[in-house]
Structure 1
């Protein structure tokens, strides 16, 4: 195997042309990944309160139950 000179290491090989690769767009798929992802970033103080994803899910389910119960209590019957 031939060693490549350090000054040539950053250059494309002669058989490759930049035009062969098309336009480069930074972040081309970023929005699609953001829409398809269900990752939620927690603030550091909130993350300290929950050791893992199970604890977060348990707390949120409990909060939903409380919200449903309180909305049932405040609805007026017609």
Structure 2
């Protein structure tokens, strides 16, 4: 067993192949993580846009301007 391990560690070709495989796995994992983060960011922007658009529709249906709504909501805020 020790002879096999010694051969694998001392052979530069096998070390280069092993290093290449590890590098490819690391690059693949980083790509997946960054792709997932980009998708989460895209979805968050989409949700924020939908919420803003929904608020505009609610304001239009209520028949009030945004300034009037802010005035009515001021009594509920603690700022």
Structure 1 length-normalised TM: 0.29
Structure of greater relative contact order (alpha carbons < 8 Å, 6+ residues apart): 2
TM-score, L = length of structure 2: 0.29
Bigger CA radius of gyration: 2
More helix by share: 2
